[in-house]
C-alpha cells in the first residue's frame, strides 16, 4: 500500500460496473445474492486494486496476500473482482453464474476458481479460515526463514470480508478469540455491517455491541460509517486509511466495522432484505443502471477503457511487487539452502527422508492404547518432519498430541511454565474450540507449506462437523485426531461415548476414516497419512490399552505395513477360510481371541484388520475378493453402530456393534453387557456359517 489513495473517475466507474454485473448475473440465472455484492463493491475493489499484494498470472504465488470472502453467498463480490483483475474469468463466466459446469459456482470453491483461497459458504467458517491462514503465515515464516528478524519473503497479510451472519455464528467467535490470544497482527477482518439477514432487520435477533466484543478479544478496532453523514457516502479514502492503520498494528489482529446499506445505490430496494437472496427484477436493475449513467438496455456491458484500466493496474502492481519479492526470494534461497530444500520438498508433496527409519517399533511385551502410541509416533518423527505441527482443543494430555520437547506456538507473553515456546513454536493450543480448530486446520492445509493436525475426543467431532466436510470437498489435507473412540471411554458415560460418530464420518465423501488396531498400525497409518496430500484424514484412537501383536517372522501375524491397503489379513486361517472376521481398532484383538476358539472347534477362520475402509475401497477388485472371499461366511465387529457394515460382510454376514447409546460403567463391563466379546463373535459366526450353508 502507498500512503495516499489514488481514486480516479475510472476507479469509480469500475465500481459501478461491478455493481451492475452482480445485478445482471443474478437476473440472468434467476437466483443468487445480489444485494451485498452491489453495496460492498467499493470495499472489494479497494482491496483488489489498491491494497492487496497479488499476481493474477500466478494465483499460487507464495508472496501473495490472502483474501477470504466469509460471506460466501455473495460470491459475485469475489468473482467480479477476479474478472476485473485478470484472473482468467471473463464475462461469459459471470453470465453462467450458478449453472452447470461454470467456473462461478454459488459459493466460492478453492481449486475450482483461480484466485479463490478457500471454500466458503457456511457462515463464520471463512472468518475461522482467515485465522488459520494468519497462523500458517507466522509458522511458515519461522520454519523457512528463522534467522530473519526483518521483513521475510514469507510474510503476508490476510484480509477477510465478513457480514452480519458471520458475526452471529459461534465458530467466528471461537476463532477470533483465539486470534486475539495469538496476537495475529497480519490479520484484518472487515465487517460489512448492513443490519440485514434473510429474515429482515437484524435487530430481531442480533443486538450486541460487536465492536466491544472484538475489543474484549484483544483486537485493534476501527469503524467506518457510510451512513453517518446525512446522505449515504462511500468513504473509500477513510476505509483505505483504516486498512493502512491496521497494517501498522503488528501485535494484534485488526477489525474494521463498515456500516453500509445493503443494495445501495438501488433506487427503490436499497436497505430491504428482499435484495439479500433474490433477483432484483428487471425494472429495478434498469433503474440502477440509469442512476449510474449506464445504458439500461444493455447487460454485461463493460466499457473497454474500464477493463483495460483494472487489468492494467492489477498487472502493474503485480509486476512491481514481484520484482521486489523475486529478488528477495533469490537472496533468501541462496543464503538458506536447507530452507530452500525443505520448501522444494514440501511443495513437491514428497515424504520426508528418514521418516520410515524414525517411526518407532512397538514390542509385543505390553499393552498400549493407540492414543499413547500416536503421541510416541509424533514425538519420534518430529525432527525428520519439521513441516508437521499441531495440538489439541485443550486435551493435550488425553489426546497425546504434543511432540515431546517441542515448543508451543504462542506469542512470547503467552507462554507458561507448563508450555514454554514462542512465535516459532509448533505445539498448538486451540482452547476448547473444536469447530474453530477444524476450520483453522483446513486453512493451514490450504496454505500449503506445512501439515497440521488437531485433536479432541471423537464424540466432540459433532462440534466440528463442517470442517472435515469442507476439507473433503476442497481436497485439503487436514489431519483430525479423534481419541476416546468408543464405549471404551467407560465411566464418563454416554455423553462421552461415541457410537454413531465413526459411521457418520464415513458418510463424508473424500474423508479417510482410520482406526488402527494396535500401536504398530498407528505408526504405519501416520506414515500413510503424511504421504497423502489431496484429501483430509481422520485418525480414530482408543483410550484403553490394546494388545500389541507379535508381528515377527513365524508369529502368524502380518506386518503392519499392510495398513496402506485399508484392510488386510492380519492372521490367516489354518486352511481355506470358511469364516472371515473383520474388525477395526480395539475390536481386532477380540476377533483374534474368537479365531483361537473357532479354529479349536475346526472352523478355519481368517482375521482381517480393516483400519480404513476408504483405503480398502480404492484397492483393485481382485485384492478385495482375495481378502473377503465370497464363499466364506463373514462377521464384522466394531464398537459402534453397525450401519454400513453390510456392504463389507454382505447382507448374509453378521454385524456386531452397539446400535444404542452407552452407559456409565467400567469399559470392560460395558463390552460384556453389549456383547462386544469373543464369545459373541463365536456365536454370531456359527449363525453366519449356518446361513451360508442353507
In angstroms, rounded to a whole number, what is the distance separating the alpha carbons of residues 567 and 606?
12
Torsions phi, psi for 579 (to 5 deg): -140, 140
- What is the 3-class SS of 276-330, one letter each residue? CCCCCCHHHHHHHHHHCCCCCCCCCCCCHHHHHHHHHHHHHHHHHHHHHHHHHHH
432: how many CB neighbours lie within 10 A of its CB? Answer: 14
Q: Which three cell numbers stand for residue 682?
A: 463365536
- Whether residue 577 contacts residue 532, with contact meaning beta carbons closer than 8 Å, is answered with no
Which residue among the candidates 117, 169, 284, 434 is catalytic per the annotation? 434
Q: Which three cell numbers stand for residue 640?
A: 459402534
In angstroms, rounded to a whole number, what is the distance separating the alpha carbons of residues 49 and 105?
23
In angstroms, rounded to a whole number, what is the distance separating the alpha carbons of residues 495 and 394?
18
In angstroms, rounded to a whole number, what is the distance separating the alpha carbons of residues 115 and 382?
33
In angstroms, rounded to a whole number, what is the distance separating the alpha carbons of residues 306 and 303?
5
- Sign for the pseudo-dihedral over CA of 323, 327, 333, 339: negative
Q: At what angle do helices 75-85 and 304-335 cross, to 10 degrees?
A: 80
Torsions phi, psi for 248 (to 5 deg): -80, -15
- Give 251's contacts (C-beta < 8 A, 6+ positions apart): 183, 185
Place of cell 458475526: 167
Nearest to 19 by CA among 31, 30, 27, 29: 27
Q: 12: exposed, middle or buried (C-beta count within 10 Å: 0-12, 13-18, 19+)? A: middle
383 is known as an active-site residue: no
CA distances from 158 to 68, 254, 423, 554, 626 (A): 8, 10, 17, 57, 51
Torsions phi, psi for 214 (to 5 deg): -70, -30
The alpha carbon of residue 195 and the mean position of all alpha carbons in its chain are separated, in whole angstroms, by 29
* Residues that are catalytic: 434
Amino acid at each position: 500500500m502507498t500512503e495516499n489513495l489514488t481514486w480516479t473517475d475510472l476507479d469509480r466507474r469500475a465500481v459501478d460496473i461491478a455493481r451492475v454485473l452482480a445485478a445482471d448475473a443474478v437476473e440472468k440465472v434467476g437466483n443468487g445474492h445480489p444485494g451485498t455484492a452491489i453495496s460492498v463493491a467499493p470495499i472489494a475493489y479497494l482491496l483488489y486494486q489498491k491494497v492487496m499484494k497479488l499476481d493474477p498470472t500466478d494465483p499460487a504465488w507464495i508472496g501473495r496476500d490472502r483474501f477470504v470472502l466469509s460471506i460466501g453467498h455473495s460470491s459475485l463480490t469475489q468473482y467480479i473482482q477476479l474478472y476485473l483483475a485478470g484472473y482468467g474469468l471473463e464475462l461469459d463466466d459471470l453470465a453462467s453464474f450458478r449453472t452447470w459446469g461454470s467456473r462461478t459456482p454459488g459459493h466460492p470453491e478453492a481449486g475450482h476458481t483461480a484466485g479463490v483461497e478457500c471454500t466458503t459458504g457456511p457462515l463464520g467458517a471463512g472468518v475461522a479460515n482467515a485465522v488459520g491462514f494468519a497462523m500458517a503465515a507466522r509458522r511458515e515464516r519461522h520454519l523457512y526463514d528463522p534467522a530473519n528478524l526483518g521483513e521475510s519473503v514469507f510474510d503476508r497479510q490476510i484480509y477477510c470480508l465478513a457480514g452480519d451472519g458471520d458475526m452471529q455464528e459461534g465458530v467466528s467467535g471461537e476463532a477470533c478469540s483465539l486470534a486475539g490470544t495469538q496476537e495475529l497482527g497480519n490479520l484484518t477482518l472487515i465487517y460489512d455491517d448492513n443490519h440485514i439477514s434473510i429474515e429482515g432487520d437484524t435487530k430481531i435477533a442480533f443486538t450486541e455491541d460487536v465492536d466491544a466484543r472484538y475489543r474484549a478479544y484483544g483486537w485493534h478496532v476501527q469503524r467506518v460509517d457510510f451512513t453517518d453523514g446525512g446522505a449515504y457516502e462511500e468513504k473509500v479514502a477513510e476505509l483505505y486509511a483504516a486498512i493502512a492503520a491496521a497494517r501498522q498494528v503488528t501485535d494484534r489482529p485488526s477489525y474494521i466495522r463498515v456500516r453500509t446499506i445493503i443494495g445501495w445505490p438501488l433506487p427503490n430496494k436499497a436497505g430491504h432484505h428482499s435484495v439479500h437472496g433474490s433477483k432484483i427484477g428487471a425494472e429495478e436493475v434498469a433503474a440502477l443502471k440509469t442512476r449510474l449513467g449506464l445504458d439500461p438496455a444493455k447487460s454485461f456491458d463493460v466499457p473497454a477503457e474500464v477493463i483495460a484500466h483494472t487489468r492494467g493496474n492489477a498487472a502493474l502492481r503485480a509486476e512491481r511487487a514481484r520484482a521486489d519479492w523475486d529478488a528477495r526470494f533469490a537472496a533468501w534461497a541462496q543464503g538458506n539452502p536447507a530452507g530452500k530444500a525443505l520448501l522444494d520438498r514440501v511443495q513437491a508433496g514428497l515424504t520426508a527422508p528418514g521418516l520410515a527409519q524414525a517411526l518407532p517399533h512397538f514390542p509385543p511385551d505390553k499393552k498400549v492404547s493407540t492414543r499413547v502410541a500416536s503421541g510416541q509416533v509424533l514425538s519420534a518423527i518430529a525432527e525428520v518432519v519439521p513441516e508437521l505441527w499441531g495440538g489439541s482443543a485443550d486435551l493435550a494430555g488425553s489426546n497425546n498430541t504434543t511432540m515431546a520437547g517441542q515448543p508451543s506456538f504462542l506469542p512470547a507473553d503467552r507462554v507458561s511454565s507448563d508450555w514454554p515456546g514462542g512465535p516459532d513454536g509448533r505445539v498448538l493450543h486451540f482452547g476448547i474450540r473444536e469447530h474453530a480448530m477444524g476450520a483453522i486446520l483446513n486453512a493451514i492445509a490450504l496454505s500449503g507449506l506445512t501439515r497440521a493436525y488437531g485433536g479432541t475426543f471423537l464424540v466432540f467431532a459433532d462440534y466440528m462437523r463442517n470442517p472435515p466436510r469442507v476439507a473433503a470437498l476442497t481436497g485439503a489435507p487436514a489431519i483430525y485426531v479423534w481419541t476416546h473412540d468408543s464405549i471404551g471411554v467407560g465411566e464418563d458415560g454416554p455423553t462421552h461415548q461415541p457410537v454413531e460418530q465413526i459411521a457418520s464420518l464415513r458418510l463424508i465423501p473424500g474423508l479417510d476414516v482410520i482406526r488402527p488396531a494396535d500401536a504398530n498400525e498407528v505408526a504405519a497409518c501416520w506414515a500413510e497419512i503424511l504421504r497423502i496430500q489431496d484429501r483430509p484424514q481422520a485418525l480414530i484412537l482408543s483410550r484403553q490399552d490394546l494388545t500389541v501383536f507379535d508381528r515377527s517372522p513365524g508369529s502368524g501375524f502380518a506386518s503392519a505395513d499392510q495398513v496402506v491397503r485399508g484392510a488386510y489379513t492380519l492372521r490367516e486361517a489354518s486352511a481355506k477360510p470358511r469364516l472371515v472376521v473383520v474388525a477395526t481398532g480395539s475390536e481386532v484383538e477380540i476377533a483374534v481371541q474368537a479365531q483361537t476358539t473357532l479354529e479349536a472347534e475346526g472352523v478355519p477362520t481368517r482375521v482381517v484388520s480393516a483400519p480404513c475402509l476408504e483405503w480398502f475401497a480404492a484397492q483393485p477388485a481382485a485384492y478385495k475378493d482375495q481378502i473377503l472371499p465370497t464363499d466364506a461366511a463373514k462377521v464384522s465387529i466394531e464398537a459402534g453402530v453397525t450401519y454400513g457394515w453390510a456392504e463389507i460382510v454382505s447382507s448374509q454376514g453378521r454385524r456386531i456393534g452397539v446400535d444404542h447409546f452407552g452407559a456409565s460403567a467400567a469399559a470392560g463391563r460395558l463390552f460384556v453387557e453389549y456383547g462386544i466379546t469373543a464369545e459373541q463373535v463365536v456365536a454370531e459366526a456359527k449363525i453366519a456359517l449356518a446361513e451360508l450353508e442353507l
